[in-house]
Homo-oligomer: A and B are copies of this chain.
Amino acid sequence: MTVSQVSSDIGRPYEECGVFGVWGAPDAAALAALGLHALQHRGQEAAGIVSHDRERFYQHKGLGLVGEVFGDQRTIATLPGDAAIAHNRYATTGATLLRNVQPLYADFEFGGLAVAHNGNLTNAATLRQALVRRGCLFQSTTDTEVFVHLIAISLYANVLDRLIDAVKQVKGAYSLIALTEDGMVGLRDPLGVRPLILGRMPGNGAWVFASETCALDIIGAEFVRDVEPGEIVVINAGGLRSIKPFAESGSRFCVFEYIYFARPDSVLEGHPVYQARKQIGIELARASAVDADVVVPVPDSGVPSAMGYAAESGIPFELGIIRNHYVGRTFIEPTDQIRNLGVRMKHSANRAVLEGQRVILVDDSIVRGTTSRKIVDMVRAAGAREVHMRISSPPTIHPCFYGIDTPEESKLLAATHSMEQMRELIGVDSLAFISFDGLYRALGYENRGAAQGHYCDACFTGDYPISLVDRDGALVA
């Protein structure tokens, strides 16, 4: 028995998510479950796998962590076949419906097709409206279903031409993988904002798509190359084929993947994430030195930058904040009294390290500022004498429309406060962010100018490389 509220509401769909696909390996669904597990940091809300055994498609989806949805081998046994695509869903606000969980599967005139994507379309609402007007019935509120309907109504004869027809009509920052009855497809948007890599298993030569390299590592697959911006990679019995259907493409990879989103042991476009973060810490220490006793990371994403900061500054690195990893999705603060305790379910202060010390806290970003304020209060309550905050990203002053969950501009602390106001609000003795030049130096460029055109940093600059159709309306060409 299941309750499902009917809802026409389509929220702002932040679909960072993780995608994974494998073609040509026995136990494909089991490999997919492992791949999803390695990509769990990209989405904890739900998970799904569609497999194909050269005869039929099989599907299982569920709300929760990969281990909860796919941890039981009896579930995996319901997903036979040597091809599978898989998806991790990110926890956005509001009720999650199972029908929104990807991959989406549909029976078309030409046969079955499963699709999963990571990212966000900027003309999804516009397209959706046009499709509904044409008589298309939407079953979910995901952008993925826009792809599915575009494919369904395309007049092209074969599935690949229909897929190309569809992706030419969408605008956005996304990677997409699809599974048909005889092949697997992986593609990135023309600017390659969201990651997608290609790998291969050493023994059986099975091909693998994944959002990050860590998903190759867990199954022992080898990294082959990044799927290129605007490239469609088609894998089938005839081998691998590359198609570049877009007139224009470029490279505007999301710089925030380096700062926060990707796993530290992944390698993005040739750069190890861990080293990049550490290097940002080094740049921060050079530009924003302060006299202190300890460098303390806000775990987990602040750790490598704090290590870099400590190494460069010579100030000892200490675990002054302990993270409780058992925090589940469902812990609800029960009463006002408890809420007023200012309980930190995720973090606790390590008094032995903090008491009486001048502390440099290193964190990855300040969004609304509320979490930072709570952490600073906690560190002070544990006896810190001074608290200095160093942030491994530039100030976040614009929302992301390309798949990263950020609030609207009015709720971004840095968009509405001066540096001094922020410092005061958060309650620190000093506050500094990495500079643009520092950030890009950490990624191997001389300065921001040299990196120009390689990255999307719209959340820091407002320079949106893909038109925001739904927000701004379609422009006359």
Chain A interfacial positions (CB closer than 8 Å to B): 1-6, 8, 26-27, 30-31, 33-34, 37-38, 40-41, 44, 50, 56-69, 71-73, 75-78, 98, 105-109, 112, 132-139, 148-149, 152-154, 214, 217-220, 263-265, 267, 272, 274-275, 303-304, 307, 311, 316-319, 322, 324-335, 337-338, 341-345, 348-353
Contacts and interface: CB of A to CB of B under 8 A. Distances in A.
A208 to B, nearest CB: 13
Copies in the complex: 4
Given A6-B50, A108-B137, A265-B352, 11 more contacts: A3-B60, A4-B61, A6-B56, A34-B345, A67-B328, A71-B331, A107-B132, A136-B137, A218-B345, A275-B352, A307-B318
A348 B38 CA distance: 9
Contact of A37 (B3, B38, B331): B331
12 contacts: A3-B60, A6-B105, A34-B338, A40-B324, A67-B331, A68-B328, A68-B330, A107-B137, A137-B149, A214-B348, A219-B343, A265-B348
Given A6-B59, A352-B272, A33 B107 contact: no
A154 to B, nearest CB: 8
Contact of A217 (B3, B31, B348): B348
Contact of A4 (B59, B106, B325): B59
Given A37-B324, A351-B265, A135 B152 contact: yes
A114 B67 CA distance: 34
Contacts of A304: 319
B71 A330 contact: yes
Most chain B CB within a 10 A radius of its CB, from A50, A217, A264, A311: A217
Which 5 A/B pairs are nearest by Cβ-Cβ distance? A272-B352, A67-B328, A135-B153, A1-B62, A71-B330
A317 B317 contact: yes
Given A265-B322, A265-B352, A348-B217, A30 B338 contact: yes
Nearest to A330: B71
Given A50-B6, A61-B2, A331-B71, A350 B27 contact: no
Given A67-B326, A334-B30, A338-B30, A264 B350 contact: yes
